[in-house]
Amino acid sequence: MFAQYHALKAASPDCLLFYRMGDFFELFFDDAKAASATLDIALTSRGDGIPMCGVPAHAAEAYLARLIKGGHRVAIADQTETPAEAKKRGGSKALVARAIVRIVTAGTLTEETLLDARAANWLVAVAEAGGAIGLAAADISTGRFEMAVASPATLSAELARLGAAETIVAEGADHGLEGAIVSLSGGFDSASGEKRLKALFGVATLDGWGQFSRAELAATGGLLAYLDRAGQGSLPFLQPPLRRETADHMMIDAATRESLEIVCAQNGARAGSLLDATDRTVTGAGARMLAADLGAPLTDRAAIGARLDLVSLFHDESGLREGLRTRLRAQPDIARALGRIVAGRGSPRDLGQLRDGLDQCYPIHASLDKLADRAALLGGLSPRLLGHGELVDRLSRALVPVPPVDAAQGGYIAEGYDAALDALRDAGGQGRKAIAALEASYREQTGIATLKIRHNGVLGYHVEVAANRADALMRPDSGFTHRQTLAGVVRFNAPELHEVAIRVGQAGAHALAAEAAHLEALTEEVLAAKAAIAATADALARLDVAAALAERAAEAGWCRPNLVEHSCLEIEGGRHPVVEQAVARTGGRFVANDCNLSDGDRLWLVTGPNMGGKSTFLRQNAAIAILAQAGSFVPASRATLGIVDRLFSRVGASDNLARGRSTFMVEMVETAAILAQATTRSLVILDEVGRGTSTYDGLAIAWAVVEAVHDRNRCRCLFATHYHELTRLAGRLDALSLHHVRAREWKGDLVLLHEVAPGAADRSYGLAVARLAGLPPLVLARAKDVLKRLEAGRQATGGIAAGLDDLPLFAAAIAAEPAPDPLRTALDSIDADALSPREALEALYRLKGIAGE
């Protein structure tokens, strides 16, 4: 056995080997140690000391999910013959043949239980050829397949858009990628890719799908080679490749996606993201499509307009929208059911899901067909819902209402579909009745009231009695033959039982074979219609997205954006959907703000206190641009936008310790990328550039960045800062205007108004915010003193730090000044405007105590 095991393990040395032994998948040696640690199951050993652990075959999916999540890859070595077939082939000691039937990896999952129903699962291959970088990406759970060319500057942005579950590269290459990368030897060449692609789709030329570069074909070669290995020669369902041009969608790099929390929050969860705040879809397929739309907003006005037209239709027709959403809620995920069937992992239940989902398309089409005068707005979606009548009829007649997942036990073909199958089932049923009658006869014959006829996979049908009643059946003339003695029971055979069992077994086996033949025929019919079924699934998802966006717009008063050719960002009453939703939960009200970036006023310098809303204002305008170009209404009372080709966000502080980068280093790397890549059609939001270093260095960098964005990039930009010195640039940079978030101090308290107004802030209110944060009074008092010296020095000499010869603060202050007067220190710590009458009285008594001391 271990010779067989080691041969299988050698074929997939980079995987944990699931070795089928009866009802369990067993793991041995180091695989067992790794699996037991990940799964938290007992590690045992064989008599020869070999480590081992195992999981039940019927529950293998749950364990696979945990192993994949733990970063492992698993090779499934299953039995390819039954023990009876092995015995017939090689005698009683013959080893059951086994083979690796599949390799399970994060990017090759199709099972419902292993996938997030509302998220795509991309496998991406990256290759370099002809001086370019090619990408080939597939979500084999739905068949989506696309190819693209990237440059070194845009590669990370494209990979961030896809959010691959697994990325594969040629052996020895890494392309500067981070994260889990799988190396594959062989297959990464354009000739191999072109040949495999033609063979997959049975075509002589690829011209019908576009002109693919060598790099794209090389990446495709690697992708298909990897899928071929994972499926052990069986390729999954792939739709014809979609060639995606990088100019077709808004480029958003990984740092910007994380900063804006587009499809997931910075903690990795969906909650708190723009997607979560926008998503009102009612199907998994719709949720996946919406995530893809937000992850890659379009740059073509006509395509965006078509999406917005569909949203407008459902926004205006509330009755149609609600009826459609009600029907869609009952839709099974036919895209993923089809993916499992094509991959050879389908079940009778998957066929049932296709039947039910395709059948429900007809009332959906009928409801849409009533809008004949607005058919153009449907963009050809409605016809794609039809054409499956014959397949639906066949599946409806052939399958029981709720087919099982496991085909091995049968019971999924409906009664009346096949007369011969019905006859076999009747024979089996009559046989089971005969066995029940035989059991009653044996009880009367032997006088043993507890005698039972049982069945198992080893003995088949047999008689079972309690051990203390077995003597009567042991006699030679009893008519029973002893088969097995266990603790407490003894098992026997009998001639009449044997004959009946043969009839039952033959009928059951023939019935299972007949059902399997029907399952194969039905599967073939589905495979013949796979392209049309996939098109229907996409149409349903697009309808779900449009209706969901209309629902979101109706519930929150979002408006349809106007997309124009010239560069502008004109927002009236703009809101941040995530923050607004969070504020609403607490009973608060979000303060809307306007933004107007145009050629003559394209750079806003925004000042004001921390917590005043600067970062939210910056992010909400970026979010509005994303939503608009994704084809959604936007959270504003009016919005006119020029197409954004690239979106950049440098908001928030983080470090990258794994790569040896400090917070400031990360900030500078991201800022450098913006200055190198932003065009006149880009939108840039920058928050507190330069804050991670000394005051002089930071101010100098921020000053230079503002000038570069204004003079060289000439893009639309929102720049938030606490460096008030930058406001002087308004006198020299003609397209820069000053704005601030409003705040007031009232009776010692800071009131944040969250309103954006013209002009520069009068101050930063840093000490007021520090007091809100609970900074100790003595520290606040010292800070006030330092601030006075700074401001006095700046007014006298123009220097930021003039007059502060006693820094660092505390050590130098003690050395340069006499010991502080305790009474004066206590007085300085009192904010008279902020005291209640009781606090004032307590302060007076405290001062008297100090004076007395």
The answer to which of 308-322, 690-704, 719-733, 764-778 has the lowest mean pLDDT is 764-778
Over residues 806-833, the pLDDT tens digits come to 434 333 333 434 456 777 777 877 877 7
Q: Kindly report the number of other CB atoms within 10 A of residue 254's CB atom.
A: 16
Q: Are strands 683-687 and 716-720 parallel, antiparallel or unpaired?
A: parallel
Model confidence at 469: pLDDT above 80: yes
User: In the predicted model, is pLDDT for residue 602 greater than 90?
Assistant: yes
With left for phi above 0 and alpha for psi between -120 and 50, is residue 745 left, alpha or beta? beta
Q: Do domains 279-388+529-554 and 419-501 have the same CATH topology?
A: yes
| Confidence (pLDDT) at 800 | 52
The candidate with the shortest Cα–Cα distance to 659, out of 87, 317, 179, is 179
pLDDT tens-digit series, residues 129-167: 988 999 999 999 999 999 999 988 889 899 999 999 999
- Provide the CA 297 distance to its chain's centre, in angstroms: 17
Q: What is the pLDDT of residue 600?
A: 86
The answer on whether 195 is annotated among ligand-binding residues is no
Q: In the numeric block, which tokens belong to residue 762?
A: 């009068």
Judged against a pLDDT cut of 70, whether residue 658 lies above it is answered with no
The whole-angstrom distance between residue 195's C-alpha and the CA centroid of its chain comes to 32
State the Cα–Cα distance between residues 297 and 309, nearest whole angstrom. 16
241 is in an annotated binding site: no
Task: Identify whether the C-beta of residue 228 lies closer than 8 Å to the C-beta of residue 140.
Answer: no
Q: Which of 108-117, 306-315, 584-593, 772-781 has the lowest mean pLDDT?
A: 772-781
| DSSP states of 268-280 | S-STTSHHHHH--
Q: Indicate the SS3 state at residue 452.
A: strand
Class of domain 112-248: alpha beta
Tell me which of 331 and 836 has the higher pLDDT.
331
Q: What digits encode the pLDDT tens for the residues 755-803?
A: 999 998 877 777 777 787 788 888 888 888 887 887 776 665 555 544 4
Domain 279-388+529-554 grouped into CATH 1.10.1420.10:
yes
DSSP assignment letter at 346: -
Least confident of 144-158, 170-184, 629-643: 170-184
Residues 30-37: what's their mean pLDDT?
95
What CATH number is given for 2-104 in this structure? 3.40.1170.10
Q: Among 728, 571, 544, which Cα is nearest to 639's?
A: 571
600 marked as binding residue: no
pLDDT for 777 equals 84
Confidence of residue 667 (pLDDT cuts 50, 70, 90): confident
pLDDT attached to residue 285: 96
Element (H, E) at 533: helix 530-556
The span from the CA of 809 to the CA of 245, in Å, is: 57
Burial of 833 (0-12, 13-18, 19+ CB in 10 A): exposed
First to last CA, the chain: 91
> Annotation-wise, does 610 bind a ligand?
yes
Residue 613 among known ligand-binding residues: yes
More confident residue, 519 or 846: 519
Question: Amino acid identity, residue 773?
Answer: A
pLDDT band at 412 (very low <50, low <70, confident <90, very high): very high
What does the block give as tokens for 321?
A: 């929208």
| pLDDT, tens digit (0-9, with 9 covering 90-100), for 528-552 | 999 999 999 999 999 999 999 999 9
Angle (nearest 5°) at CA 94 between 93 and 99? 145
611 is in an annotated binding site: yes
Model pTM score: 0.85
147 has binding-site annotation: no
What is the rounded average pLDDT of the residues 414-435?
A: 88
pLDDT of residue 504: 84
Average pLDDT over residues 693-697: 80
What is the three-class DSSP state of 495?
Answer: helix
Place of tokens 């003894």: 490
Predicted pLDDT at 817: 43
pLDDT of residue 657: 45
Q: Per-residue pLDDT for 128 more than 60?
A: yes
- Mean pLDDT within 257-273: 92
- Asked if residue 805 has pLDDT above 80, the reply is no
Q: What ranges do the domains of the chain cover?
A: 2-104, 112-248, 279-388+529-554, 419-501, 557-768
pLDDT value for 814? 38
The whole-number pLDDT of residue 139 equals 96
Q: What b-and-e string marks burial along 475-488, b requiring 16 or more CB atoms within 10 Å of the CB?
A: eeeeebeeeeeeee
Mean pLDDT of 424-440: 86
For 419-501, CATH gives 1.10.1420.10
Residue 84's pLDDT band (cuts 50, 70, 90): confident
User: How far apart (Å, rounded) are the C-alpha atoms in residues 405 and 777?
Assistant: 68
Q: Would you tell me how many other CB atoms lie within 10 Å of the CB of residue 810? A: 11
- How would you classify residue 110: left for phi > 0, otherwise alpha for psi between -120 and 50, otherwise beta? alpha
Beta-bridged to residue 102, according to DSSP, are: 76
609 known ligand binder:
yes
pLDDT at position 816 is 39
User: Distance between CA 134 and CA 144 in Å, rounded?
Assistant: 17
Q: What mean pLDDT do residues 379-408 have? A: 91
CATH of 557-768, one of 3.20.140.10, 3.40.50.300, 3.30.70.1880, 3.40.630.10: 3.40.50.300
The secondary structure element, H or E, covering residue 539 is: helix 530-556
Number of helical H runs and strand E runs in the chain: 29, 27
User: Any bridge partners for residue 18, and if so which?
Assistant: 76
Q: How confident is the model at residue 250 (pLDDT cuts 50, 70, 90)?
A: very high
669-682 residue pLDDT tens = 889 999 999 999 99
Residue 826 is encoded by which pair of tokens? 């206590």
Torsion region of 172: left, alpha or beta (phi above 0 gives left; psi -120 to 50 gives alpha) = left
pLDDT above 80 (res 421)? yes
